[in-house]
């Protein structure tokens, strides 16, 4: 897990939800909104304030695929496995992405460049299979196309 984070950013969330029964998921979601992931330090603070053990918090957080435990990459990829994308081969596309990046969903590459999340619809089903990288949509993906996009971004980052 990653480095120190500014835990004061989480105070407002904990003031509002720490004593509200059944709000652990909400707290974790808001934590991730603030930091882009769920930092280890935040888990301990949430534990202190809610009385739920860190192990239990991690158990809940890891059960839900929406949570990540390392900072997101410079290029945040959301790849879709919703129905339209699935019938157009998104599984294979996700396999290629996993292979090309060497990480699984919700992980970040060691160089900090890429992270990816599998989502259930990006709202651009006519482009299926589709993905977003930061704010840009990419559609009609194939294995070759996805490799080209990733390699292009790597080069772009190296040139900076």
Least distance (Å) between residue 119 CB and ligand FES: 8
- Can you tell me whether residue 79 is helix, strand or coil? strand
Asked whether position 157 contacts ligand FES by CB under 6 A, the answer is no
Q: Based on CB atoms, which residue is closest to ligand FES, 62 or 142?
A: 142
Tell which positions 85-104 bind ligand FES, by CB under 6 A: 85
Specify the residue, 71 or 89, whose C-beta has the smaller distance to ligand FES. 89
Residues 6+ apart with CB under 8 A from 7: 41, 42, 45
- Residue 125 within binding range of ligand FES, rule CB under 6 A: yes
Strands 136-138 and 131-133: antiparallel
One character per residue 11-50, x = contact with ligand FES (rule: CB under 6 A)? ----------------------------------------
Which window, 12-20, 68-76, 105-113, 118-126, contacts ligand FES (CB under 6 A)? 118-126
| 3-class DSSP assignment, residue 40 | helix
Torsion of Cα atoms, 96 then 100 then 103 then 104, to 10° = -10
Q: Are 148 and 95 in contact (CB under 8 A)?
A: no
User: Does 122 contact ligand FES by CB under 6 A?
Assistant: yes
Are 109 and 157 in contact by the 8 Å Cβ rule? The answer is no
Question: Looking at 24-32, 62-70, 80-88, 149-157, which segment touches ligand FES (CB under 6 A)?
Answer: 80-88
Taking CB under 6 A as the rule, does residue 130 contact ligand FES? Answer: yes
φ, ψ for residue 32 (rounded to 5)?
A: -70, -35
Cβ pair 53, 93 in contact under 8 A: no
Q: Which residues bind ligand FES (CB under 6 A)?
A: 80, 82-85, 121-122, 124-125, 128, 130
């Amino acid at each position: 897990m990653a480095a120190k984070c500014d835990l004061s950013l989480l105070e407002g969330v904990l003031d509002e939800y720490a004593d509200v029964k059944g709000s652990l998921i909400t707290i974790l979601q808001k934590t991730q909104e603030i930091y882009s992931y769920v930092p280890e330090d935040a888990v301990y603070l949430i534990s202190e304030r809610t009385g739920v053990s860190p192990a239990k918090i991690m158990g809940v957080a890891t059960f839900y695929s929406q949570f990540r435990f390392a900072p997101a990459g410079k290029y945040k990829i959301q790849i879709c496995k919703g129905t339209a994308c699935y019938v157009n081969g998104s599984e294979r596309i996700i396999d290629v992405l996993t292979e090309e990046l060497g990480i699984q969903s919700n992980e970040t590459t060691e160089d900090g460049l890429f992270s990816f999340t599998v989502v259930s619809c990006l709202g651009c089903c006519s482009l299926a299979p589709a993905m977003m990288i930061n704010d840009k949509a990419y559609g009609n993906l194939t294995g070759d196309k996805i490799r080209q996009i990733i390699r292009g971004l790597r080069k772009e980052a190296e040139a900076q």
